[in-house]
Every structure is written in structure tokens, then in C-alpha cells.
Structure 1
């Protein structure tokens, strides 16, 4: 099914191009020159696109290299900071838990006012 559709599109493009060339309001020489100019424009666009794509690839490679250089040490540094924080926080958390338990054990002994 798609093959018939593709053939139809190709046939329509060829017939349209031929009709455009045959029934163009310009002379054959002017039409050919316009066709050559259009091809040159498309060629220039292709070259520009290729250059921009190459620049993008280079930028992406540079970004990847920078990421490889900086991200791993950054993650390692954060992991060290987290471990240091845990090490410093654990005794404090234990002290707070002890205080909470002490308060809770003494709380039932307090008279409740109404």
C-alpha cells in the first residue's frame, strides 16, 4: 500500500516539475538559469547546515568532556559532605532522642491542669 502511495507522490512530482518547466512564463534559458540558481542556493544551505551540525557536534563533545571532568569530582565531594554531616549529626540525634525520652518519662508525673 505504501509503495503505491510513494510511486504516486514521485509521479506527481515529476509531472508537476515537467509541467512547470513546459508552461513557465520564462524562456528556456531563464528557466534553466533559475533552476541552476536554486540548486546553488540549496547547495549553500546544505553546506551551512553541515557546518552548523559539525559545530554542534564539537560543542556536544566539549560539553561531554567538561561533564566527565567535573561531574564525578563534584559527586564525590557531595558524598563526602553527606558522610561528614551524618557523622556529625548522629551523636546530636542520639542526644535529642535521649532528651525526648527523658521528657516523656517525666511527663506523666506532671500534674495536669484543667
Structure 2
């Protein structure tokens, strides 16, 4: 638990205890108020624990979905790139041959300055 969280918890406990001790109530009313506050804090802790568990479950489900979909997606993209290379390489060779043919068939052009 971080220092800030410990400080908040300590402050809440001290504040609640001070409020109960210095409250203008009878002892019975003060004890009942204290019991009610403890029950409220207990309920709050249970709610927080449940929400935290839901967040953990959601994170695990997200991780499982990511593991299931991301790897096949990347593999698909890599396959598409390879297919493109396979299709582009012969065309690039044809273009290179045409450039060489043009260069050999055209007379050299004088460079004007």
C-alpha cells in the first residue's frame, strides 16, 4: 500500500474516532453510530473488492481476446506483404528490363549547359 493510501486511511480512522469521541451523544448512541460506521466501511470495502475483481476479470478477458486475435492478424498482414512481394518482383524485373532496353536503344543525349 502506498504512503498516500496509508495516510488517507490513517486520516479517516483518526477523523472517525475523533468525531465519535467528541460527539455530543450518549454512550449508547455513540456506540450505535460507531457500529453503523463500521458496517458502512465494511460494505464499502466489499463493494470495492467486488469492483476490483470485475476489473481483473475484464483485464483477463481482454488479454485472452488480444492473444486470440492479434497474432492471427499479424500473421495475415505478413502473408499479405509476402504475396505483394511475390507479385511485385516479376513486375519490377520487367520494368528494369524495359529501362535497360530503352537505355541501350536510345542514343546518348548531349548534356546542355
**Could you tell me the TM-score, scaled by structure 2's length?**
0.67
Q: CA RMSD in A?
A: 3.0
Q: Deviations over 1:1-34 (max 9, x none)?
A: xxxxxxxxx7xx76x7665444322222222222
The alpha-carbon distance between structure 1 residues 30 and 101, as it changes in their structure 2 partners (threshold 3 A), is farther
Unpaired stretches in structure 2, ≥5 consecutive residues: 1-9
**Could you tell me the TM-score, scaled by structure 1's length?**
0.66
- Hey, what does 1:44 align to over in structure 2? 43
Q: Across the two proteins, how many residue pairs are aligned to each other?
A: 102
Unpaired stretches in structure 1, ≥5 consecutive residues: 1-9
The alpha-carbon distance between structure 1 residues 107 and 40, as it changes in their structure 2 partners (threshold 3 A), is farther
The alpha-carbon distance between structure 1 residues 96 and 64, as it changes in their structure 2 partners (threshold 3 A), is same
**Structure 1 Cα separation of the partners of residues 17 and 41 of structure 2:** 20
Task: State how 1:88-107 maps to structure 2 within 5 Å.
Answer: 88-103=87-102
Could you tell which deviates more after superposition, 102-111 or 34-43?
102-111
Relative contact order, CA 8 A, sep 6+: which one is greater? 2
Q: Is the 8 A contact 2:20 2:30 kept in 1?
A: yes
